[in-house]
A and B are shown apart, each in its own frame.
Chain A
Amino acid sequence: QVQLQESGPGLVKPSQTLSLTCSVSGGGSISSGNYYWGWIRQPAGKGLEWIGRIYTNGATFYNPSLKSRVSISLDASKSQFSLELSSVTAADTAVYYCIREPPGSWGQGIQVTVSS
């Protein structure tokens, strides 16, 4: 069973870039197979928001509302994929989750707060 684990800073200053990594174990190489590796976030008390995803061949797909600020990349040698979200504001404060599709395997989530 594949396992995912998010890591990164829990506090980011406004206007800076939020950088998170998802470490993957138990599922073979993340650059093989027909899988999407994605990021999702959830502000406190609100619903889930799709940020974007990367296919095993490196093709990326982003939420149009975040597209200008988001970058997702894959590092198969480290069995990791990463999220960068630039020019953050308080509205980007949320729990961030990584996920593999299919079949929808989730990380436990990481709280990221944007504050000076």
Chain B
Amino acid sequence: QAVVSQEPSLTVSPGGTVTLTCGCSTGAVTSGQFPYWFQQMPGQAPKTLIYDTSKKQSWTPARFSGSLLGGKAALTLSGAQPEDEADYYCFILCSGGRVFGGGTRLTVL
């Protein structure tokens, strides 16, 4: 089965910039794989931040952006806030099916 890879954990300083990436084991990620990025706070349902590579939900803070970078899907946080500390999951078409990455735990410290 296809594997979607994410960094298990990342740390960013308040006000800093960090990029989370999402790769597919079968090759480079393209827009045709419709990458999504979800944010999940402890004890809460996930929320969609980014869909279809770079589109934002109405509630997505402007400091979050989605893109393709180096053959992977990427989520960039510019100007990190303490409230951005959460788990982040990517979700893409990989080898014919929808697959989640294992998630990135982002610490703002």
Contact = CB atoms under 8 A, between A and B. Distances in A.
Contact of A50 (B45, B48, B52, B97): B97
B98 A53 contact: yes
A64 B57 CA distance: 30
Interface residues of A, number: 22
Given A97-B45, A108-B45, A109-B45, A103 B100 contact: no
A52 to B, nearest CB: 8
**SS class of chain B's interface: helix, strand, loop or mixed?**
strand
B103 A97 contact: no
Contacts of B55: 102-103
Interface string A34-52: 0000101000000111100
A59 to B, nearest CB: 13
Interface string A42-75: 0000011110010000000111110000000000
Which bucket holds chain B's interface residue count?
20 to 34
Contacts of A65: 1
Nearest to B95: A64
A23 to B, nearest CB: 16
Interface of B: 1, 34, 36, 38, 45-48, 51-52, 55, 57, 89, 91, 97-103
Interface of A: 38, 40, 47-50, 53, 61-65, 97, 101-109
Given A63-B98, A109-B45, 11 more contacts: A48-B46, A50-B99, A61-B97, A97-B46, A101-B51, A102-B55, A103-B48, A103-B55, A103-B57, A104-B48, A106-B48
